[in-house]
Structure 1
């Protein structure tokens, strides 16, 4: 072999080694699919960015429990369906999580864990796919049917209807999940047959994709209607995959919308099932979540921005000094939108004898932002407002800063190559006066919720039962007057008490609504210090505070569920109070109705024998904390939770409900007028969402 042949051999060998190594890296990066902005190349080679992240949860139930002959028939074909659907979604740019044969609690955990992890990004799209049995129940109290999906341990409702409803997942819960999601687009597909009033039928095909992608939406598609049966060899799955491959793009624009998908599946499944299945599709019955349309890009290869920057950088370092264009083509094939793509293209041109062409001496940067009236600073020099106009800059690293009065400044750095182009998207966050609460991390676990039948002073709505909660964070203190005042001043908010509903106080031997009472003046002759808990606050007022705080901080604060509240209050204890079974230490841990309160008010109920020094409300943190470091979990003020109140526990204690759901909400902990009986850890009552009391406040929770 001559010298030139030897050189060519080593060049090809090194290229193959590099490509094989980075092919392995690309396979490792498949786990990160969907977590970077999806870039789609159309027929003209133009890039169209649809979503920041794309995540899918694919659940299949093939092996139903049938120990006593009262279960569902098995669906062995579902296992293959899950694999095929997951693969099709991955090919469309989704990160996919699969769950097979979940039991009732595992099914709920799958939904909640997935939403908690991926549902917060407002520019994300989430897809949920369930394959398994479904069923419709017609409650006697409602003319509307209720759809359910069946986990692996749900019995057949024809043989055990009560057992089925206890374990199956109702569409009401799916609706709660849909509303809780922060992502702008969510699509729920059920390869199951059932009916219900969760969504309204919608056959419209959008004409303007870019407009639709900007609007939030929750869409639903089922494989069939009530009383229809899903075959094990799923027609619905085959047609869904075909739609993603491009067959569902009815208007040929390169996009597949949720509306197009629903219409396609309805036509094809009815046809190929010979009329045995009638898919239903539509959008949630919620005016805030029914304007947009879920979008897939079809007919093109979906590419992701590099999800492994370390791998890309290592590759680039290994070839950056080479004069061989083959290596730069290898880089571009692996990282077509890489940080060094412009440089690689320039080096390829140089390698093909184009060295004599004048090389560009500058690059271009476009800076955009989410606000108007801002100013761009590049390397400390003001360059005018953000917008579509490009700034010509010398190659190298540049510091980009965007400022606007009343907003936190945005800063970043960008490496620009000669002839290269870059776009910076600045997100300016308003400066806030919000006070973020000090949070305590609560590790999840299981506990006995409620009280045993032997507990002194227990009420009939405290049935003891085992409950498990995921980890969460809970505020160390109740929301204070100072914190609530900042919210009210920043938003000009008036509480429901201030708007005419008043606040309830105890006077003259009964509870009375007083028009003059509100969070600013919760009672005659009572303190209202900055560190006192905010009172005379309704559930709706608490949600308004949360909306403001989350908007100002970018966080996701909420009220705790009832189960979370009691789990945190008990702090691992099983006693009557979280400090033990005796009342003698109550004044050390809780601000209840004691000797000081009795001297001032002389209420008609039993007082604690001790004296805590506070006849009414006390500043937060004035008493000893519980085992988790939380203050005032008993006494001081009752605290709102996000859970629907039911006289007997039915699972609602583990969930939050949205503002539009009818019914009372659970309040826990009792307040400064509490008897020894009512500061127990298990005490619970329900309260109307628009009613305020002078011993009722709230504290905040959030996910880990």
Structure 2
């Protein structure tokens, strides 16, 4: 069959059967047949047929160009990436920030709108999660990635902000963020696919004996959700102190670069790499409830167009070195384009080739420089007295709320006080101590609030018993409406009965998980039974 016969419809294709993956091939085919027809006008049944063929070509070409962009536009991709390693009061990590930057670079190349948060406190993390949930829509693909400390308690996973101050699992509600909040926000968006990646299974940061759980717990995956963990339930992931990335994220980034892999294949490839690097000691875990296929880089993915406009040629430079095995090539890129599009990838490759050992290069901590103080302060909440101004330093003693302690100095540039009590000297996080007058004023106000609340609860409305007959006779059954006089308001009869007032611990935990204030929810306890022994009437 000749090219002209094929173009005229002798062995063509059905437009309805066009798959998005085949659009580039169809475009090339139409371009070729159009070129042939123009070169030999009238070759098939004269010029009239040629014009009909050209009309068919124009129609199909328009159809193809409509199908391709529409398919790409309907799938919006949104990602929130958080990496925490510079903890203020807990042991620092080596590679969480590096992992997040590497993931951001790969996801951006895969078409995601990326928001990256590095070393964020609790307030900023909550705001970022809320903003991310608001950006999801019915047609979007959402991806949440977190690298940093994570702790499980009673089968719930908590992500730990860098400003967390905690000694036991009891502090998680106030200082941590439950991972379930992310899943709930995704589920409420009703979009077709959500992806959660947690590289947060590092060793438990709490002092030994303060938490019995290791690693993270498996979370229920709502329909349309793919959840990946750096390692299996209750296990610990390696932080990758021999390179620029943690073991899991390092392998995941490699898998993301490969076109034509479905989401399951990407994470299986990453899991295989992790098993090989750790000798089977770390095995990533996947939990999914999704339908259909999703590709970070589809099978027909085309390499990004390299800019060559004479103004910014970092893309050309990167294309020439991206497969290099020489560290000097990546260093040259960083020197020439310190703000280039591929800086994160260049640093990652450079560190891999150099075998950078981030953790081992941390210098010994120098002796703290103190600003002299001499005043008595009070523990505003439970506080730890440690041997040196570090969260991982040896615990000397514990202060209970209200305990007095002598402050002898403040560590310059850090949030630690030097303290002395009962002949012992140590360091306490400054945020846990208050001036005695401030502490007394706060406690007096809290006591007043509690007293007012107790008084409110103890107040029992004295309601006159409802007469069996009102207004000239007739019994009043529950729910009936009456008036005492023509100008009086309508009254509704309420039956006697009992009900439970207040919230239990589960309801309060849910309220706090939604971002509520723990001190406010505590006013809902303890639950107690209230009984109204006689029926009464209230104004309608």
Fold-level match, TM-score > 0.5? no
User: Which has the larger share of helix?
Assistant: 2
Normalised TM-score (structure 1): 0.34
Q: Which structure has the bigger radius of gyration? A: 2
Scaled by the length of structure 2, the TM-score of the pair is 0.44
